A and B are shown apart, each in its own frame.
Chain A
Amino acid sequence: AQRVTQPEKLLSVFKGAPVELKCNYSYSGSPELFWYVQYSRQRLQLLLRHISRESIKGFTADLNKGETSFHLKKPFAQEEDSAMYYCALSKGGGNKLTFGTGTQLKVEL
């Protein structure tokens, strides 16, 4: 069965500092990986997906199949990045997602 692990429940960084939210997965096939974000008082929404290879709001994530990781990175944290971030895995491109437990990112001034 597939599994997504986010080891940090809370990550606190200062504004302007680099950010890395960790995500590891286990799945025997070819997964699709996503990062979803939930800002305060807003609904859960897609941030980025690995097949797009794009940068959204300064965030990037590279799928490393050797390490089975999909860490989310941003070189300079902004206050508005404070939110809950969920890593998620889809089997073969379907819409059924397996979510990690989430990491609360807090960017301090």
Chain B
Amino acid sequence: SAVISQKPSRDICQRGTSLTIQCQVDSQVTMMFWYRQQPGQSLTLIATANQGSEATYESGFVIDKFPISRPNLTFSTLTVSNMSPEDSSIYLCSVGLAATGELFFGEGSRLTVL
């Protein structure tokens, strides 16, 4: 298993600003993912955070809006840039066990953009 810590757990932000969310894992993992859960909707994969290379973004998500860092095998950050109220969501970090396909999730970071 894996224990994941996310910071901040919640924040209220002003339109036009940027916020960086941190994700720390208690063990080295190859695969880290960032998901978004908008109010009343399902989880949507934003990108895969790759160690040592650029993140791989899903359709509809771009690096300029959601830059991601992955400096090592236990840590990643997601930045939500130039925020608007539509970015108000819960952002979740997750790591995967390739052997089982199971995902472990952080507690999420709830962002409210005014």
Contacts and interface: CB of A to CB of B under 8 A. Distances in A.
Interface residues of A, number: 22
A43 B108 contact: yes
Interface string B28-44: 00010100000001111
B101 interface: yes
B102 interface: yes
B33 to A, nearest CB: 7
Interface residues of B, number: 21
A42 to B, nearest CB: 8
Contacts of A4: 42
A94 interface: yes
B13 interface: no
A101 B105 contact: no
Name, among A4, A43, A90, A102, the residue most crowded by chain B CB atoms within 10 Å (CB to CB).
Answer: A43
B103 A95 contact: yes
Contact of A45 (B43, B101, B105): B105
A94 B96 CA distance: 9
Interface string B48-84: 1000000000000000000000000000000000000
B92 A44 contact: yes
Contacts of B42: 4, 86, 99-102
A74 interface: no
A46 interface: yes
A34 B101 CA distance: 9
A91 to B, nearest CB: 10
Interface of B: 31, 33, 41-45, 48, 92, 96-98, 100-108
5 contacts: A49-B102, A94-B101, A95-B96, A95-B98, A97-B43
Given A95-B96, A96-B33, 15 more contacts: A34-B101, A36-B103, A43-B107, A43-B108, A44-B43, A44-B105, A45-B104, A46-B103, A49-B101, A95-B31, A95-B98, A95-B101, A97-B43, A99-B44, A101-B42
